[in-house]
Amino acid sequence: MTSTRTSPIATARRLVTEIPGPRSRELAARKLDAVAGGVGTTLPVYASAAHGGVLEDVDGNVFIDLGSGIAVTTVGSSAPRVVEAVTDQAGRFTHTCFMVTPYESYLEVAERLNRLTPGDHDKRTALFNSGAEAVENAVKIARSATGRQAVVVFDHAYHGRTTLTMAMTAKSVPYKHGFGPFAPEVYRAPLSYAYRDGGLSGAEAAARAIDQIEKQVGATNLAAVVIEPIQGEGGFIVPAPGFLPALAEWCRANGVAFVADEVQTGFARTGDMFASDHEGVVPDLIVTAKGIAGGLPLSAVTGRADLMDAVHPGGLGGTYGGNPLACAAALAVMDTIADEKLVERARRIEEVVKARLRSIQEKDDRVGDIRGRGAMIAVELVEPGSMTPAPALAKAVATYAHREGVIVLTCGTYGNVLRFLPPLAISDAELGEAFDVVEDAFATSGAS
Ligand SMILES: *Cc1c(COP(=O)(O)O)cnc(C)c1O
């Protein structure tokens, strides 16, 4: 399908001022006086338009986007079908509250999620606004259905910034520092992290985690194990094969809800519709958000009907959950993923990006590990010839790329991971040009 409108912006990188330009600097000064200091920004440039794989700033600079607003604009920003669906819906009604007078698009999103998510068992869905809100609701559902309270999460996990999800998130600064006390009954288990755990197999790492859970929590106290199938903020850590299936199996045998937090990995991002699909893992509950609605705020919990329906009527909801504009956008996103074969596109992006990163690694021993799947790929950077994290190098490479018109993000417990999350709408030319810049960034960023 061709664009329903002419792109207002160029489709290639263009730098017309220094970065940030004068207009962005003016806005940054206004931000200081208007916006709470705790709300940070990665790039000092202010957006004026974004489309496909590029973003234009208020000074007329055009950036190639390797971040997708943190894995949200998977179908591209202002994707044509999303714009059309949202515009049409906005003219009909913007809100009624599904809990007051419901509407059909909410049902359709639920039906499609029930079909698209792993497993062909009977499922139900509830819609919310943010990833954190959906994670909280998954925990509520698991507690209500099991009559148990404890929740197990993992090292390096990120599940959000609300009180409960902050307790579930691993990293103190910036997410938790000064914000305690934290919610009780949240326990942390060791992950499978091949690069840093001496190459434990998936089965060995699962046995280690399960042993700790059994000793420190006890299966009969445990409502849910919540895990990102590939960790996002924690550093794009891909557990060794067998780790997720073994955990899911143990949960099934012990009446514990296995909850996949696919907020970052969902919707074609990893070269499967969901990252759980990769190893045939069927979660009891799956949490989705980010890529679900092309930039409109929407999230969901989808799962086994017997668990989802265990909650009393009125026990789940929220004023805006499943807002009609967001539902219209989500349906357009799901159509776009299917019609434009974006799952395959993500796999192709993986090949291109990993090849580029391997050729950088051959020349540069500071690239310690290349990992990830689909259009969710990262490099972990270390001091030469060691495994010591090199966060300053990650920052230097990212800053160089920003100045040269490429949006890249960092992450990781040690801040030493560069992550690449391009929109699946990015062209091969844009991708190639962006990685030319990344390669230059490594060549010009001196020993950290
Ligand atoms: C971003 C993220 C969240 C939180 O989502 P918000 O919409 O920011 O609340 C939760 N889990 C994972 C894995 C995420 O990447």
298-341 pLDDT, tens digit each: 999 999 999 999 999 999 999 999 999 999 999 999 999 999 99
Asked whether residue 11 carries a pLDDT value surpassing 60, the answer given is no
Distance between CA atoms of 420 and 71, rounded to whole angstroms? 9
Q: What is the pLDDT of residue 321?
A: 98
Q: What is the pLDDT of residue 326?
A: 98
Q: Is the pTM of this model over 0.95?
A: yes
Q: What angle do CA 11, 42, 413 make, to 5 degrees?
A: 120
Ligand 1 site-directed mutation target among 263, 274, 409, most atoms within 8 Å of CB: 263
Q: Tell me, in angstroms, the distance from the centre of ligand 1 to residue 136's CA.
A: 11
261 touches ligand 1 (CB under 6 Å): yes
Per-residue pLDDT band at 2 (split at 50, 70, 90): very low
392-401's contacts with Cβ under 8 Å and 24+ in sequence apart are 392/448, 393/366, 393/445, 393/448, 394/418, 396/441, 396/445, 396/448, 397/438, 397/441, 397/442, 397/445, 398/441, 400/437, 400/440, 400/441, 400/444, 400/445, 401/434, 401/437, 401/438, 401/441
Distance between CA atoms of 72 and 292, rounded to whole angstroms? 7
Ligand 1 site-directed mutation target among 290, 296, 376, most atoms within 8 Å of CB: 290
Residue ranges of alpha helices (H) inside 147-238 are 163-168, 202-216
Q: What is the pLDDT of residue 284?
A: 98
Q: What is the pLDDT of residue 350?
A: 98
Per-residue pLDDT band at 386 (split at 50, 70, 90): very high
List, in sequence order, every residue forming a beta bridge with 51; answer none if it has no partner: 54
Q: Name the one residue in this structure whose structure tokens are 């909650």.
A: 311
Q: Tell me, in angstroms, the distance from the centre of ligand 1 to residue 159's CA.
A: 5
Segment holding 35, helix H or strand E? none
Q: Tell me, in angstroms, the distance from the centre of ligand 1 to residue 436's CA.
A: 30
Q: Tell me, in angstroms, the distance from the centre of ligand 1 to residue 235's CA.
A: 14
SS (H, E, C) 281-344: CCCCEEEECHHHHCCCCCEEEEEEHHHHCCCCCCCCCCCCCCCHHHHHHHHHHHHHHHHCCHHH
Q: What is the pLDDT of residue 341?
A: 98
List, in sequence order, every residue forming a beta bridge with 381; answer none if it has no partner: 367
The structural domains of the chain, ordered by start, are 22-65+341-444 (3.90.1150.10), 82-339 (3.40.640.10)
From the centroid of its chain, how far is CA 268? 11
72 touches ligand 1 (CB under 6 Å): no
Compute CA distances 408 → 165, 210, 262, 296, 383, whole Å: 26, 36, 21, 22, 21
Asked whether residue 153 carries a pLDDT value surpassing 50, the answer given is yes
Q: What is the pLDDT of residue 9?
A: 55
264 touches ligand 1 (CB under 6 Å): yes
Exposure letters 271-290 (e unless 16+ CB within 10 A, then b): bbbbbbbbbebbbbbbbbbb
Q: What is the mean pLDDT of residues 12-30?
A: 96
Atom of ligand 1 nearest to the CA of 133: 9
Both structure tokens of 272 = 């499967």
SS3 248: helix
Closest residue by Cα to atom 10, ligand 1, is 159
Q: Tell me, in angstroms, the distance from the centre of ligand 1 to residue 158's CA.
A: 7
289 touches ligand 1 (CB under 6 Å): yes
Per-residue pLDDT band at 448 (split at 50, 70, 90): very low
Both structure tokens of 65 = 């986007």
Both structure tokens of 94 = 């913007």
160 touches ligand 1 (CB under 6 Å): yes
Q: Which residues contact 173 (CB under 8 A, 6 or more apart)?
A: none
285 touches ligand 1 (CB under 6 Å): no
SS3 150: strand
Q: Tell me, in angstroms, the distance from the centre of ligand 1 to residue 233's CA.
A: 9
Distance between CA atoms of 107 and 234, rounded to whole angstroms? 34
Q: Tell me, in angstroms, the distance from the centre of ligand 1 to residue 263's CA.
A: 6
